[in-house]
A = this chain, B = another copy of it.
Amino acid sequence: MDLVKPTTLPGFMELDPKSQIMFDKIKRKMEDVFRSYGFYPIDSPILERSEILLAKGGGETEKQVYRFNKGDTDITMRYDLTVPLAKYVSMNYPQLAFPFKRYQIGKVYRGEKSQKGRFREFYQCDIDIIGSNQLSVLNEAEIPSIMCEVFNSIGLHEFVIRINNRKFLNGLFELKGIANHKTEALRTIDKLEKIGEDNVIVTLIEQGINEKVAKEILAILSFSGSNDEIIQEISKLLGQNDLYDQGVDELKSVIRYMKAFGADEDNYKIDLSIARGLDYYTGTVYETTFLPKPEIGSICSGGRYDELASHFTKESLPGVGMSIGLTRLFYILNEFGYIDKSNDGVADVLILPMTEDLSKATEISTLIRKQGIVTQVYLEDKKFKHKITYANKIEVPYVIFVGEEEIATNMLSLKDMRTGEQVKLDLESVIAQLKENIRMRSTDIIKIS
């Protein structure tokens, strides 16, 4: 028979078993945090009718999607989790409790140009709160607070969520008399970090904005300081434009309530220069900088929007959400060696039977496992060398030998695979030592420095 060469499609991440354990651990910690805030999980299909996913139409998205016909049905693979959410909320509107809080961690598909670190199949991790007709600005504090906890829960402490407000920005443009330039101005300002202050000013001038005004705007947007100092600075222009005043007020509320939600002040700051290119944001916007490698770009972004589902329903569905590109984030953390794999093997202990009849060894494995200890028993009839090679390959911290003598004396031989130390203990003491080892391990998944 001719063999088919086993390969994975380019742009599709398939992890080695150990990395997959770490990936799943991160995913689960994230879910735990979302659940702790009372968010519903949603698991929408990966396939939808093309008319649903492409209702908004046009643009880059349409060129990248995986789209095909099955029978008479024009099908597209989801390319984000937002359109499926819009569909879900519109379809289930009468049954849902509003504000509707949901998270979803799922794979999405984009046929992007294949390159290192870019994925065609990747996990997105989204949280959103959707209101019916109205939604308090305080939700714009809850969402980034949850994301702060998410990152910290996996041991990733070195990040800053940068917060700005579209009302503030648009209000500022109105106040400075350039309301008719606001779309281009917003896009230009969004590039501040990339192209620098001077180039932004040049571009704004090219867009027809007076040089003096451009410079005034830039002076405000690049003002840096503590959150309080920034609020103080922008408060100087209060009372001239309603939208501006509202934006400043919202920024104040978000900052104040993030503290009440328990977010660490090192993890968030007002940054007046971020804008988020997407048109549909209307209030608070967020970007997240990974401090050890700021050059990788935002690792968690989002914002407030006014109409989640205007293509599907006449109901007004304002919302706020943030999203993590989990596959890319994991890839980066893994590439830089920030994933601490030292603490998590596939098992806490491996039983190596040394007798022909394995029933006693198997029974012992069952007793230990029932104590909450991840236990493997080696069932193959192989030489001792093979058994130890297996133990080393799965990087198990402890091995228990069960031979005739151990069975006769009811004493087990417990070997610490890191130190090589081997002791004889009764089952109870073995369990105690294994539990102590588990208890002592760090639960942080990510370790930087």
Question: In the complex this chain forms, how many copies of it are found?
Answer: 2
**Pairwise interchain contact B376-A38, C-beta atoms closer than 8 A:** yes
Residues 280-305 (chain A) with a chain B CB within 8 angstroms: none
Q: Give Cα A52 to B9, complex, Å.
A: 10
> Among the listed B5, B40, B48, B55, which residue makes an inter-chain contact with A17, where contact means beta carbons less than 8 Å apart?
B40
Residues 170-223 (chain A) with a chain B CB within 8 angstroms: none
**Pairwise interchain contact A16-B366, C-beta atoms closer than 8 A:** no
**Which B residues lie within 8 Å of A7 (CB)?**
49, 52, 87, 91
Stretch at the interface among A97-105, A228-236, A243-251: A97-105
Q: How far is the CB of A64 from chain B (nearest CB, A)?
A: 10
**Which B residues lie within 8 Å of A71 (CB)?**
111
Q: Does A88 contact B (CB under 8 A)?
A: yes
**Pairwise interchain contact B121-A359, C-beta atoms closer than 8 A:** no
Measured CB to CB, the nearest residue on chain B to A89 is: B6
Q: How far is the CB of A17 from chain B (nearest CB, A)?
A: 4
Q: Does A107 contact B (CB under 8 A)?
A: yes
Stretch at the interface among A256-264, A267-275, A414-422, A435-443: A256-264
Stretch at the interface among A133-141, A150-158, A399-407, A426-434: A133-141
**Pairwise interchain contact B20-A142, C-beta atoms closer than 8 A:** no
**Pairwise interchain contact A346-B66, C-beta atoms closer than 8 A:** no
Residues 354-382 (chain A) with a chain B CB within 8 angstroms: 358-360, 362-363, 365-366, 369-370, 372, 374-377, 379-381
6 of the cross-chain contacts (CB-CB < 8 Å) are: A4-B311, A8-B91, A37-B376, A47-B66, A257-B358, A261-B366
3 residue pairs, one from A and one from B, having the closest CB atoms: A68-B68, A38-B347, A38-B376
